[in-house]
Amino acid sequence: MKTIDDYNFKNKQALIRVDFNVPIDQDGNVTDATRIEAAKPTIIKVLEDGGSVVLMSHLGRPKDNESKYSLQQIVSKVSEVIGVETKFVNNCVGEVAENAAKNLQPGEVLLLENLRFHKEEEEGDPDFAKKLSKLGDVYINDAFGTAHRAHASTTVVAQYFEEKCFGYLLKKEIESLNKVLKSAEKPVTAILGGAKVSSKITVIENILDKVDHLIIGGGMAFTFIKARGGKVGSSLVEDDKQELALEILKMAEKKGVEIHLPVDSVIADSFSELADTDITPTDNIPDGWMGLDAGPKTIEQFSNIVSKSKTILWNGPIGVFEMDAFANGTIKLGEAIGEATKNGAFSLVGGGDSVSAVKKFNLDDQMSYVSTGGGAMLEMLEGKTLPGIQAISEV
Ligand code: AMP
């Protein structure tokens, strides 16, 4: 795997695919610059070597070239975060972009307009990718969030470069996932939560070969509990996945993986912060009530497993953490993972909602690594090779 440290960028121009798909408020201000900060080390490395930087990214899902999706809005934030006055050009290909890129001096940074203002970006159009490739000498991919897409700037463009590598962010993402999937220290525990079994089936099937313990929590646990004959009231259940749930349990047994399901739940009489609540065994929830968080015994059992693990993967909250009344399980589990990490375990958190949860409860600093790419991480956990990663690995 070629990474940025294999190169010296003196007098070279790096074309860097970054993920600057940042939230912007109505006045055009960036409300969370995490993604810009995440790309900073790669940009600084090129500049400190004596090179110049051309940055390309998408922003949102524009249909036409609406100004609310223009990357011009983030230029001052990029300048502030990187500490270098950033130039901007109002197209990402064509003469104007090529001239701006040609005039760039070592130490300078240029941001291109939103790649998705051209439909050819998402189509992975080779001609469009070739035009992009004219803007730099070396291609760097540092956008994990789009690495599972075979778009022009994330994948196709790589073929037009002799010199191409991963940036620091993408390198760290790949290394962290490999630490779980390929070279994990045992015992390995995966915690899968969230709403639906259906969105995580392929992940479960793939990781059964790699883990010692699989904790299943959140809404998806009820399909398993019901399939085993439990009474789950009006909890979230995917009836058409019950058979599959039983197959997964059987498969796990065959592979020697211990599956842990919640034993008690915080139940509510409606899906609301103001609902009446109670605690019952997860397989004996009264009609009209639904399980919305892990109960105290479950939290203790899950935390116990986590505390004995050396590698921990966490994807998906184990309760409706968005409502304070049902956030306790997710917080306590996060704290247990934090504690295990302090004691030497490697912990990786990924997937949109678990990342929001650890951030919301200020647990992110306690994890070994918090992934930046929801969909990309899920696809890696499913065992797929991501096109954006493959395009660079084939050097
Ligand atoms: P996912 O995108 O599949 O990871 O699902 C995340 C969502 O699952 C979050 O918005 C949680 O509120 C929700 N969730 C977690 N536990 C439950 C539950 N017991 N019942 C319903 N939704 C849940």
Give me ligand 1 centre to Cα 194, in Å: 4
Give me ligand 1 centre to Cα 291, in Å: 11
Give me ligand 1 centre to Cα 129, in Å: 38
pLDDT in tens, 162-188: 999 999 999 999 999 999 999 999 999
Ligand 1 atom 11: the closest Cα is on which residue?
320
52-56 and 109-112 as β-strands: parallel, antiparallel, unpaired? parallel
Element (H, E) at 313: strand 311-315
Q: From its phi and psi, is residue 294 left (phi > 0), alpha (psi between -120 and 50) or beta?
A: beta
Is the model's pLDDT at 395 over the cut of 70? no
Ligand 1 atom 18: the closest Cα is on which residue?
219
DSSP state of 281: E
DSSP H helix total and E strand total for the chain? 14, 17
Element (H, E) at 336: helix 328-342
pLDDT in tens, 290-334: 999 999 999 999 999 999 999 999 999 999 999 999 999 999 999
- Would you call 62 helix, strand, or coil by DSSP? coil
Burial (CB count <10 Å: 0-12, 13-18, 19+), residue 247: middle
The reported pTM is 0.90
Provide residues with CB under 6 Å of ligand 1. Answer: 193-196, 199, 218-219, 236, 291-292, 316-317, 319-320, 322, 351, 353
* pLDDT attached to residue 372: 82
pLDDT averaged over the chain? 95
Using the structure block, give the residue that is written with the tokens 């610059």: 33
Ligand 1 atom 12: the closest Cα is on which residue?
320
Q: Do 214 and 260 contact (CB within 8 A), yes or no?
A: yes
Q: Do 132 and 56 contact (CB within 8 A), yes or no?
A: yes
Closest CA to 141 of 214, 42, 64, 66: 42
Using the structure block, give the residue that is written with the tokens 């009264």: 286
Is the model's pLDDT at 225 over the cut of 60? yes
Hey, what are 260's tokens?
Answer: 């842990």
User: What sections of 144-291 are H helices per DSSP?
Assistant: 168-181, 201-207, 221-227, 242-255
pLDDT in tens, 276-287: 999 999 999 999
pLDDT in tens, 186-221: 999 999 999 988 888 889 999 999 999 999 999 999
Residue 131 a catalytic site member = no
Task: Give phi and psi for 357, each to the nearest 5.
Answer: -65, -50
| Strand intervals (E) in 105-212 | 109-112, 138-141, 163-166, 188-192
- CATH number for the segment(s) 183-381: 3.40.50.1260
* pLDDT attached to residue 196: 87
Angle between helical axes of 328-342 and 296-307 (0-180°, round to 10)? 20
Report residue 394's pLDDT band, with 50, 70 and 90 as the boundaries: low
Give span(s): CATH 3.40.50.1260, the chain: 4-171, 183-381
Ligand 1 atom 10: the closest Cα is on which residue?
320
Residue 181 burial (CB count, 10 A): 20
Q: Do 56 and 18 contact (CB within 8 A), yes or no?
A: yes
pLDDT in tens, 82-123: 999 999 999 999 999 999 999 999 999 999 999 999 999 999
Give me ligand 1 centre to Cα 353, in Å: 8
Distance CA 153, CA 140 (A): 10
290-294 and 264-268 as β-strands: parallel, antiparallel, unpaired? antiparallel
Cβ-based neighbours of 173, under 8 Å, separated by 6 or more: 144, 147, 371, 372, 373, 376, 377
* pLDDT attached to residue 2: 72
Q: Do 275 and 268 contact (CB within 8 A), yes or no?
A: yes
Distance CA 262, CA 302 (A): 8
**Position in ligand 1 atom list of the atom nearest CA 317:** 15
* pLDDT attached to residue 167: 96
With the most atoms of ligand 1 within 8 angstroms of its CB, the residue from 235, 320, 377 to mutate is 320
Give the type of residue at 299: I
* pLDDT attached to residue 373: 81
The percentage of the chain sitting over the pLDDT mark of 90, rounded to a whole number, equals 92
Report residue 270's pLDDT band, with 50, 70 and 90 as the boundaries: very high
Angstrom CA distances, 293 to 189, 201, 235, 278, 331, stand at 20, 21, 11, 11, 11
Q: Do 381 and 315 contact (CB within 8 A), yes or no?
A: yes
Q: Which CATH number is 4-171's, of 3.40.1160.10, 3.40.50.300, 1.10.260.40, 3.40.50.1260? A: 3.40.50.1260
138-141 and 163-166 as β-strands: parallel, antiparallel, unpaired? parallel
* pLDDT attached to residue 190: 97
